[in-house]
Amino acid sequence: MTVVTPDLLRRFDVPGPRYTSYPTADRFVEAFGQEDYILALQQRKLGTAAKALPLSLYVHIPFCESLCYYCACNKIITKHHERADVYLRYLSREIDLHTAHCGQGQVVSQLHLGGGTPTFLSDDGLRELMAMLQRSFSLAPGGEYSIEVDPRTVTVERLAVLAELGFNRLSFGVQDFDPEVQKAVHRIQPAQQVFDLVASARSLGFDSVNVDLIYGLPRQTPESFDRTLAQVAQLRPDRIALYAYAHLPERFKPQRRIVPAELPGASAKVAMLARSLDAFMEAGYVYVGMDHFALPNDALAVAKRQGRLHRNFQGYSTQPDCDLIGLGVSAIGRVGATYSQNAKTLDEYYDFIDQGRLPVVRGLALTRDDLVRRAVIMALMCQGEVLFEPMEQAWLIDFRRYFEPEMELLREMADQGLVRLSDEGITVTSMGWFFVRGVAMVFDRYLQADRNRARFSRII
């Protein structure tokens, strides 16, 4: 286990972005609206270079039957499943609005259904959704088609329906197997239920099964989390996503039900992270980066080895550069050098579509400086290094002159053992991986300018 000093803990126990994008979503502005987004879609349709970019789809299903106290996602708690029928009708209309501008039959190589709980939809609802997507887009053979699954909402029979519909990747929300932790976050799901579903997914031929875990939840200790780690190693999913819990009760109302005194401290969270790294790598997983692990033959681990790893709004991705169309309430997209986000409430989302308008309420057109810094931050987050020469050739800059103030800050980090600086570039050390978000923050011009980090989760 890597020893993290108390001084480093104090220095980096600060809020910071996860960098699923740069600039981060809090920098989106309302001045960016439907017209800007339509222009980006049309440029994709008309431009030969943009046309060659892979296309990814994200569909947000906001509904959940019960509330998990830790959740920071955009969700609607309801047991009225008929609300999903109305939502699907509006999704169909939003898809039509997209294809009117980007063209029918665009080839899609990645599809992800997130939420909320996508498996809130009935089997017929899922069939309807996939049919409408296939009418408007061309789903490429051999693409990655994934769906987030709450184990409490599916059976073996339902998994068979997902396979029949073309999904080849599943992500099970586990968070923690400890019953006391599950009670504290209002999410009870026996370990055996998850083990049975994963075994069924394998027998049905799914290409990849992911398990989501969260450390830093109430009543967790390094020792209790060790037991969960051992169970996950026994379960042996193809991928593991390990997230730090972000306690932001002022922003996310459900988190106010969590007892702050039951939350583990920063040193306990670092211990959980360190033990997780050791446990998963000892079990044969490749440490893909920050919060992702994969078995060596999984596509994510292969992409890491081949330098094709990228980071997008769903985390690490196998596609190094792709456009992303976000569909549904609050969905975020990236087309060309723009980001966009849909309306966050159902009423507003429905109102836009009733007016025949795309429901984009904010976004951002990236500057050249944004693009340069995004390339640096993503290289750090994905490969753990930035090589000066390729970056200088790609962006026609003198790296050390362009980033002179940033290099000064990195020298301090080098003295602390977090990065290595050489004539060739910047490399994140094994110690530095604990604080890689902090390393990336050095290159965040917006963050360095205002220092207002309270809206982010803590790095540790």
CB 374 within 8 A of CB 443: no
**What's the longest Cα–Cα distance across the chain?**
61
Candidate ranges 40-54, 246-260, 315-329; pick with highest mean pLDDT: 246-260
pLDDT band at 5 (very low <50, low <70, confident <90, very high): low
Higher pLDDT, 316 or 255: 255
pLDDT of 265 above 50:
yes
User: Is 6 exposed, middle or buried, given 0-12, 13-18 or 19+ CB atoms closer than 10 A?
Assistant: exposed
71 is in an annotated binding site: yes
Q: Considering Cα of 195, then 197, then 203, then 207, what sign does the dihedral take?
A: negative
Contacts of 183 (CB under 8 A, 6+ apart): 219
Higher pLDDT, 453 or 357: 357
Least confident of 37-51, 90-104, 120-134, 176-190: 37-51
Q: Considering Cα of 213, then 217, then 218, then 220, what sign does the dihedral take?
A: positive
CB 84 within 8 A of CB 120: yes
Residue type at 8 in one-letter notation: L
382 is in an annotated binding site: no
Q: What is the pLDDT of residue 9?
A: 66
347 is in an annotated binding site: no
Q: What is the pLDDT of residue 420?
A: 97
Structure tokens of 318? Answer: 């196998």
Domain at 367-460: CATH code? 1.10.10.920
Q: What is the pLDDT of residue 50?
A: 45
CB 322 within 8 A of CB 55: yes
Structure tokens of 116? Answer: 């909320």
Summary mean pLDDT of the chain: 91
Domains 21-327 and 367-460 in one fold:
no
Q: What is the pLDDT of residue 52?
A: 55
Encode pLDDT of 292-308 as tens digits.
899 999 989 998 888 78
d(CA 48, CA 61): 33
115 is in an annotated binding site: yes
Q: What is the pLDDT of residue 1?
A: 44
Edge-to-edge strands of the sheet including 208-215?
A: 286-289, 292-294, 239-244, 208-215, 169-175, 137-149, 106-115, 55-61, 323-327, 332-335, 338-342, 360-365
Q: What is the pLDDT of residue 2?
A: 52
Closest-CA residue to 386 (of 397, 445, 366)? 397
Q: What DSSP state is assigned to residue 108?
A: E
CB 20 within 8 A of CB 368: no
Encode pLDDT of 203-227 as tens digits.
999 999 999 999 999 999 999 999 9
58 is in an annotated binding site: yes
Q: What is the mean pLDDT of residues 328-338?
A: 95
262 is in an annotated binding site: no
Look at the block and give the residue holding tokens 């209790």: 224
pLDDT band at 288 (very low <50, low <70, confident <90, very high): confident
d(CA 1, CA 10): 19
pLDDT band at 4 (very low <50, low <70, confident <90, very high): low
215 is in an annotated binding site: no
pLDDT band at 54 (very low <50, low <70, confident <90, very high): confident
Count of Cβ atoms closer than 10 Å to residue 410 Cβ: 20
Q: What secondary structure does DSSP assign to 286-343, as a single string?
A: EEEETTEEE-TTSHHHHHHHTT--EEETTEEES-SS-EEEEESTT-EEEETTEEEEE-
pLDDT of 432 above 80:
yes
Q: What is the pTM of this model?
A: 0.91
Encode pLDDT of 355-410 as tens digits.
999 999 999 999 999 999 999 999 999 888 999 999 999 999 999 999 999 999 99
Cis peptide upstream of residue 363 (ω within 30 degrees of 0): no
Q: What is the pLDDT of residue 15?
A: 72
102 is in an annotated binding site: no
Encode pLDDT of 165-175 as tens digits.
999 999 999 99
Domain ranges in the chain? Answer: 21-327, 367-460
d(CA 411, CA 93): 53
pLDDT above 90: percentage of residues in the chain: 71
pLDDT band at 49 (very low <50, low <70, confident <90, very high): very low
Q: Which stretch of DSSP H or E encloses residue 26? A: none
Q: What is the mean pLDDT of residues 325-336?
A: 96
pLDDT of 434 above 80:
no
Architecture of the domain delimited by 21-327: Alpha-Beta Horseshoe (3.80)
Contacts of 176 (CB under 8 A, 6+ apart): 182, 185, 213, 214, 217, 220, 224, 225, 228
Q: What is the pLDDT of residue 264?
A: 94
